[in-house]
Structure 1
Amino acid sequence: MTARPALEIAVTSPAGARAARENGADRVELCSALELGGLTPSAALVEAVAAQGLPVQVLVRCRPGDFVHDAQEIALMAAEVRSVIASGAAGVVIGALTADGALDTVAVARLAEAARGAGRPVDVTLHRAVDQSADPVATAALLAPLGLTRVLTSGGAPAAADGLETIAAMVAAAPGVQVMAGGGVRLADIPALLSAGVASVHLSAKTRAPRRPGGTWVPLGAGGASAEQDTHFVTDPEVVAGARRALESAG
């Protein structure tokens, strides 16, 4: 019997995790700075989101930018892995590449080992560094021997719906690893993604938070964002519920 496809929602807050839980998500991926592609959240945030009741997969990424990390950054992320698991994470989302676009197996093994040191079962997911790798299919095939649970991928495309052929090839190349489709996923894409053989679908289900009235808006940082852009993302419960319905219908 085929397992029911899972729905994972990317969140940045306890409120987002609550919206995900109440509208049919199976688990959440937690990060901070979603607008930067996600960074490691604080221990306090992990604890608060874990308290909402869904399994929490925590992104461990010490900085924005590429996924080529030096020894000091890998050591920092190994410490972050241990910290977020101690704070209640059910799993961690990690990754690193070499300068030529191969999976940095030494770094990934070190991060996975830090997760296994928790003394309890912990999921370990390769994040979308796989989509910037030179060969996502070959990269996926390396994951089971490293002890990874799943891989989050768009099939190397800007959006998962454009990477279906590669996603299907990754499923075939890594039978011991759950392939999770993510990256620009729209509700209408879900049936095709399931047909490619994915075990789960990942959405940010995000919308910009309304800017609160009052006070004077002054741009902060180097981006020069407008008042409308200088905000944060929140989880849209209607998108989560729509994704659950789409999974149930297609599955």
Structure 2
Amino acid sequence: MSTTAALEIAVTSPAGAIVARDGGADRVELCVGLELGGLTPSQALVEATHETGIPAHALVRSRPGGFVYDDGDIELMVREVRSVLRSGAAGVVVGALRPDHNLDEDALRRFVDAARSVSTTAEVTLHRAIDHAVDPVSAAATLDALGFTRVLTSGAAPTAVAGADTITRMVEAAGPVQVMAGAGVTPADVPALVATGAAAVHLSAKRAAPGSAHEGVPMGGADDGSAHFETDLDVVRAARAALDAR
């Protein structure tokens, strides 16, 4: 008997978590700076999201940019792993690469060990750093030994649908580690992604928040005055319906 794939929604606020919960999501990935690919949320944000009742997996990424980190970056993220779990996160989402773009197994072990030192049941997800690895399929085969629960991937493609064939191979290679398909996902993509054997589908279900754009003096080099995002209930519900129809 087949099992319905889980639905994970990327959110940046307790309000987004409530929308995801009410739309039928199984869990959320919590971060800030979604337009930068996501960064570590604050302690208060994790605490407030935990209070919504939906399991929240906190992204731990100390800065934007690539996934090759120095000792200072790694030490900070080890601390952040412990902090977000102590603040109520059900799991963490982490990743790191070596300069040769293979997985940085030493750093990943430190992240996993830090998580399990706080909670033996903490779930640990490898984020889309794997899509920047030399060989994502071979990398997926190492994750069980490293202690990971799941991996989020687009199959090393710009969108998960475009990487569906590679995701299928990653599912076969990952063994007991869950593979979660994500990147550019819409509800219409769900059937193709479920067909890969993925255990979960991940999407941001975002829309521009009305009236949130600003004009005038830029607030930083990447500030173009654009609106910030909020979670769209209709998109979450449509994704849930697409999964339940499988």
TM-score, structure 2 normalization:
0.97
Q: Partners in 2 of 1:145 and 1:170 — Cα distance?
A: 15
Q: 2:239 aligns with which of 231, 235, 243?
A: 243
| Matched AA of 1:96 | A
Q: Partners in 2 of 1:13 and 1:2 — Cα distance?
A: 33
Mind listing any 5+ residue stretches in structure 2 that lack a counterpart? none
| Matched AA of 1:72 | G
Mind listing any 5+ residue stretches in structure 1 that lack a counterpart? none
Q: Which residue number in structure 1 is paired with residue 219 of structure 2? A: 220
Matches of residues 132-143 of structure 1 in structure 2 within 5 Å?
132-143=132-143
Q: Which residue number in structure 2 is paired with residue 89 of structure 1? A: 89
**Are residues 216 and 201 of structure 1, via their aligned partners in 2, closer, same or farther at CA, if it must alter by over 3 Å?**
closer
Q: Which residue number in structure 1 is paired with residue 208 of structure 2? A: 208
Q: Partners in 1 of 2:16 and 2:222 — Cα distance?
A: 26
**Are residues 125 and 224 of structure 1, via their aligned partners in 2, closer, same or farther at CA, if it must alter by over 3 Å?**
closer
Report the CA distance between 1:224 and its aligned residue: 5.2
**Are residues 119 and 222 of structure 1, via their aligned partners in 2, closer, same or farther at CA, if it must alter by over 3 Å?**
closer
Q: Which residue number in structure 1 is paired with residue 122 of structure 2? A: 122
Q: Partners in 2 of 1:97 and 1:212 — Cα distance?
A: 35
- For residues 22-50 of structure 1, give each alpha carbon's deviation from its aligned partner in whole angstroms, at most 9, with x where no partner exists: 01000000000101000000010000001
Matches of residues 193-204 of structure 1 in structure 2 within 5 Å?
193-204=193-204
Report the CA distance between 1:174 and its aligned residue: 0.9
Q: Partners in 1 of 2:130 and 2:105 — Cα distance?
A: 12
Q: Is the 8 A contact 2:137 2:170 kept in 1?
A: yes
**Are residues 77 and 212 of structure 1, via their aligned partners in 2, closer, same or farther at CA, if it must alter by over 3 Å?**
closer
Q: Partners in 2 of 1:138 and 1:46 — Cα distance?
A: 33
Q: Which residue number in structure 1 is paired with residue 228 of structure 2? A: 232
Matches of residues 104-119 of structure 1 in structure 2 within 5 Å?
104-119=104-119
Q: Alignment partner of 2:29: what SS?
A: strand
Q: Alignment partner of 2:161: what SS?
A: helix
| Matched AA of 1:240 | V
**Are residues 212 and 159 of structure 1, via their aligned partners in 2, closer, same or farther at CA, if it must alter by over 3 Å?**
closer
Q: Partners in 2 of 1:212 and 1:112 — Cα distance?
A: 37
TM-score, structure 1 normalization:
0.95
Q: Partners in 2 of 1:65 and 1:91 — Cα distance?
A: 23
Report the CA distance between 1:101 and its aligned residue: 0.8
Q: Alignment partner of 1:179: what SS?
A: strand
Q: Partners in 2 of 1:43 and 1:98 — Cα distance?
A: 29
**Are residues 76 and 206 of structure 1, via their aligned partners in 2, closer, same or farther at CA, if it must alter by over 3 Å?**
same
Report the CA distance between 1:219 and its aligned residue: 2.0
Q: Alignment partner of 1:162: what SS?
A: coil
Pairwise CA RMSD:
1.3
Q: Partners in 2 of 1:104 and 1:32 — Cα distance?
A: 24
Q: Partners in 2 of 1:42 and 1:55 — Cα distance?
A: 16
Report the CA distance between 1:188 and its aligned residue: 1.2
Give me the identity figure in percent: 58
Q: Is the 8 A contact 2:212 2:228 kept in 1?
A: no
Q: Partners in 2 of 1:244 and 1:29 — Cα distance?
A: 16
Q: Alignment partner of 2:185: what SS?
A: coil
Q: Alignment partner of 1:234: what SS?
A: strand
Q: Which residue number in structure 2 is paired with residue 98 of structure 1? A: 98
Q: Partners in 2 of 1:23 and 1:190 — Cα distance?
A: 16
Q: Alignment partner of 1:191: what SS?
A: helix
**Are residues 138 and 158 of structure 1, via their aligned partners in 2, closer, same or farther at CA, if it must alter by over 3 Å?**
same
Q: Which residue number in structure 2 is paired with residue 182 of structure 1? A: 182
| Matched AA of 1:61 | R
